[in-house]
Structure 1
Amino acid sequence: MKHHFALGLLLAAFGSGAQTVDIAQAREIDLDGLRGLGPATTRRILEERERQPFRDWKDLMKRTPGMGPKKASQLSEQGLRVQGQTYPPSRAH
């Protein structure tokens, strides 16, 4: 019975379709695959990241025109991470 439960969890994880995309290593194709990011925004993110890595979600939103809390939340739900954090960043210590 334990094996069936573990298999079910494994299949659910793979079946969810969500994959983690860390903004520090994301390629253009990775970012373009996220709903809500067009080519212009993707290029802007990559240019800003090249200039200086993003410190956190607040930094990403400040340096990316059109990126507000709603878009950040949508992207986070699709698997985008900034410094390993989801949006809104967890407050746990």
Structure 2
Amino acid sequence: MLKKMLSALLAFWFMAAVAAVDVNKADQATLEGVKGIGPGLSTRLLDERKKSPYKDWDDLIGRVKGVGEGNAQRFSDAGLTVNGASYGAATKPTKVTVPSSSAKASAAGK
């Protein structure tokens, strides 16, 4: 019986620890519960959110001093989301390399 209760408690704690916190919905205390976000940053996040909700991670990074790509990734790993989306490769454009016209011409001549 004790093992079952302990297992249930650990499962609940684990679920709470990885629960997503949406920056557009969270209050100050909830934001400060995300590892790395303290009172100063949570205040800046809320002040900017009062102007308008964050559209995406790029919007948040551009508007809030102290949040760059590195911090965005750390906050996302700790459970912070913007409109339900975590920060990651999906939010970054992929770089496509297109051969120049001279490279195409030399390849065609071979």
Tell me the TM-score normalized by structure 1: 0.77
Q: Does 1:32 align with 2:28?
A: no
Matching residue of 1:53: 53
Shift of 1:89: 5.7
The alpha-carbon distance between structure 1 residues 90 and 52, as it changes in their structure 2 partners (threshold 3 A), is same
Identity within the alignment, %: 34
In the alignment, residue 15 of structure 1 is paired with which amino acid? F
Specify which structure has the higher proportion of helix. 2
Runs of 4+ in 1 over 2 A off after TM superposition: 13-17
The alpha-carbon distance between structure 1 residues 33 and 14, as it changes in their structure 2 partners (threshold 3 A), is closer
- Which structure has more relative contact order (CA 8 Å, sep 6+)? It is 1
Matching residue of 2:101: none
Alignment of 1:11-26 (within 5 A): 11=11, 15=14, 17-26=17-26
Matching residue of 2:96: none
User: CA offsets per residue over residues 41-75 of structure 1, 9 Å max, x none?
Assistant: 10010010011110100010111111011110111
Matching residue of 1:5: none
In the alignment, residue 60 of structure 2 is paired with which amino acid? L
Unaligned runs of 5+ in 1: 1-10
Q: Give the Cα separation in 2 of the matches to 1:69 and 1:14.
A: 29
Whichever of the two has the greater Rg, that structure is 2
Shift of 1:34: 1.2
Q: Does 1:90 align with 2:77?
A: no
Q: Relative to structure 2, which stretch is displaced further, 33-42 or 45-54? A: 33-42
Aligned length: 80
